[in-house]
Amino acid sequence: MYKYILNRLFMMFFVVIGISFIIFLIMNLTPGNPAQLILGQSATPENIAKLEAELGLNRPLLVRYFNFIINALKLDFGLSYQTRLPVFEEILTRFPVTFKLSSIAMFIATLIGIPVGVISAVRQYSFTDAISMVSAMLFASIPSFVMGLILMLIFSLNLHWFPATGADSWKSFVLPSITLSTATMATLVRMTRSTMLEVIKQDYIRTSRAKGAKEKSVVLKHALRNALLPIVTVIGVDFGYLLGGTVVIESVFAIPGLGTLLINSIRMKDTPSVMAVVMFVTLAYSFVNLIVDIIYAFIDPRVKSQYVRG
């Protein structure tokens, strides 16, 4: 199995390189001069040219890219154009906030989504099933920023239960986490229900019931375990998406995470910060997918046997 992990890590390197090259091209080919944005509209051409030379913007595009990659391999992403501080230190400061927000949101979505999906599958076509499916469709259809504004209006401005912005205490993470969890929760409910319905109809489930096994044991031990592979896939993919997809929510709730840093860096054409954030999120997403693949082997012995044979 270690060969499989090494192979995935080798492929991950080229994925990060490819994504970084695309982002670097986009940042450098879009209109706007970082030196002009930093100095303002009243800056003289001499000052702009001097700052471009200081930032290395007067060098050829490929030379700048290869210099950035070589330095990035040493965990040196350069200095931010805005703050003139090391970008890597800024990321290490902000990533725990984004990780905490994404983890809480994923925990809420998993804690509610899987049990509701199992109950809906077991009680197919019941009133509970109908309510859960309608709710899942509703949560999946509402954009995250709209959900965030609705929660902020109700629980912050009217009820004053939770703060509307910031990340000063645990209360500051309640509304953003719920906002992020709704779409993932809806996906988990529908995925769990559909997968459980397929598994429940299998012959070995009927055999377990015919042998007199308790319904709880049939559902949890036999059906749910065999339905976990696609559910774990959704959890892993959505968690990786949350790590890089909190941009809108962090902006709505003014949370100082990677999303806010990315938005501000794009506005100022702060290429080192944008590149560092994108590469960091790409690595995090790739590692999450790798962990999901390893978890497969512990859930399903058939997957582990394929790794061993490989």
Which neighbouring-strand residues pair with 86?
Answer: 79
Residue 145, pLDDT score: 81
**% of the chain surpassing 90 pLDDT:** 2
Interval 45-64: pLDDT, tens: 788 788 778 777 778 888 88
**Confidence check: pLDDT of 132 > 80:** yes
**pLDDT, position 213:** 75
- CA 174/CA 182 separation, integer angstroms: 13
State percent of the chain over pLDDT 70: 94
* pTM score of the predicted model: 0.80
pLDDT confidence of residue 303: 60
The sign of the torsion formed by the CA atoms of 266, 270, 272, 277 equals negative
Q: Is the pLDDT of residue 310 over 60?
A: no
Using only the alpha carbons of the chain, give its radius of gyration. 24
Tell me how far apart the alpha carbons of residues 56 and 77 are, in angstroms, rounded to a whole number: 14
Position 16 confidence tier, pLDDT thresholds 50, 70, 90: confident
User: Cα 135 to chain center, whole Å?
Assistant: 23
Give SS3 for 79: strand
Closest CA relative to residue 102, chosen from 247, 265, 234: 247
Query: For 252-297, how does the pLDDT look when each residue is reduced to its tens digit (9 = 90+)?
Result: 888 888 888 888 888 878 888 888 888 888 888 888 878 877 777 6
pLDDT digits (tens, 9 = 90+) for 197-219: 888 877 777 787 787 777 777 77
Residue 232 has pLDDT above 70, yes or no: yes
Which has the minimum average pLDDT: 29-33, 45-49, 86-90? 29-33
pLDDT band at 302 (very low <50, low <70, confident <90, very high): low
Label residue 245 by pLDDT band (50, 70, 90): low
pLDDT of residue 301: 64
Q: For residue range 69-78, list pLDDT tens digits in order.
A: 888 888 888 8
Query: What is the average pLDDT score of the chain?
Result: 82
